[in-house]
Structure 1
Amino acid sequence: MTANQNIAVEFKRVMKSFGAKRVLNDVSFQIGQGQALCLLGRSGTGKSVTLKLIMALMRPDSGEVWVDQDNVVGMGEHRLSLVRRKLGYLFQDAALFDSLTLYENLALPLSRLTKKSKDEIDEVVQRVLTDVSLGADGAKYPSALSGGMRKRAGLARALVLEPKILLADEPSSGLDRITAAEIDELLTRQKLEHGTALIIVTHDVHGARRTADRVAVLDKGNLVAFGSVEEVSQSESDVARRLITE
């Protein structure tokens, strides 16, 4: 990472346990604005916990979690709410309100959290829907959308507030390979065109190879490999090599 590149997210010696189980053990890494980090690892290795720590939905036992110049550990709720506005979150199940149309799902956070006029909200919603190839589907309810469309709709909702950092939890889960590749393409375009930092939890090695500038491999709470896809494929860690080359 170049010296003048802004750091989007940084972990400094983060420890997190649940009872006797150590989920993250002295984990340190950083990712720059406009870069994509894919988190790989077997189930239960701390990947989703990492996302929750970034959002400050839970706190580490020790260490620091920096989000765009702010250490969120120990931060009060008012300041946390400001930091969280820099974050977008793509949930596995898209997390759409079933009783609202797709347009209304996207307009809701804009009307609640910004001072935009209705015309401005209309323009933003239509632009974001068009960006994810749903420009003609704003009047549809989530129940009328296919799995791939729901995932794209969830991505649109995550992007509507123009976050500096986008967290994605298994964005290709449950999708066929072609649709998964389309989601990866949308994520990459967001990174390249808007400078958004992406932190993606995934089991999809093909997706990681397509999108990642950096790959972090967690195993039994430890960060066993961190670097480019090529670097991780040559890691000393057998787990990391197997995960990235399977």
Structure 2
Amino acid sequence: MKSVLITGANRSIGLETAKQLSEKGLFVYLGSRDLQKGEAIVKELNEKGFQNIKAIEIDVTQPGSISAAKDLIEKEQGKLDILINNAGILGVNPQTAAETPIADIQTVFDTNFFGVISVTQAFLELLKKSESPRISNITSGLGSLTLHNDPSWKYYHVKGAAYGPSKSALNAYTTVLAYELKDSPFKVNVIDPGYTATDFNGHSGPGSVESAASFIVKHTLTGEDAPTGQFYSNDIEDETGISPW
């Protein structure tokens, strides 16, 4: 049975992704900063028939928490097949470039960018033991610099100095990581689940968590011939789903 770790998986898109992967026969580590909350979610899932899901405590901004999660998975599985870096925060609004305090921007980057790097680097050892390792970094259309410079883009006026740039940085890091691992079985991609109605945005998005999670699963459970180093977006209306950077 393949194993997957999903950070920030105790609600919304992360939780739905955990459910869908469990239904496909994977063993899912449901990452949560608060272990009790994670275990409560898993108990509810067990009552609904999900059995191959386990809550694991992981705070992507705390090295000790990441290390403990890695040690637990190594002890139980010996390897990790899939890492989905889903944990993210929006930050304080508004996020004007002229006035947003640096501390507020740093807080967003600590989770959305540096947190992903910390988790990825910690789990690379276990991922390299998998026959078909996958790393999916969950991004946003707001991380696309090309779209941000296109006045015809439907979200052109949605600008911010913290959240969007943190995802642009994540995209850039993923490109470098994918390049470094291109001659290995790894597939490393960024995936934008689309503008989805969640607690994250006050349920303002038009998309459903089911559609968002399905898109993540589709571009994570890929074959040997699948691309690596791509930017997939559920908001791109063509069959490839490939977004401009």
TM-score (norm 2): 0.33
Larger Rg: 1
Q: Which one has the bigger strand percentage?
A: 1
TM-score (norm 1): 0.33
Structure ranking higher on relative contact order (CA contacts 8 Å, 6+ apart): 1
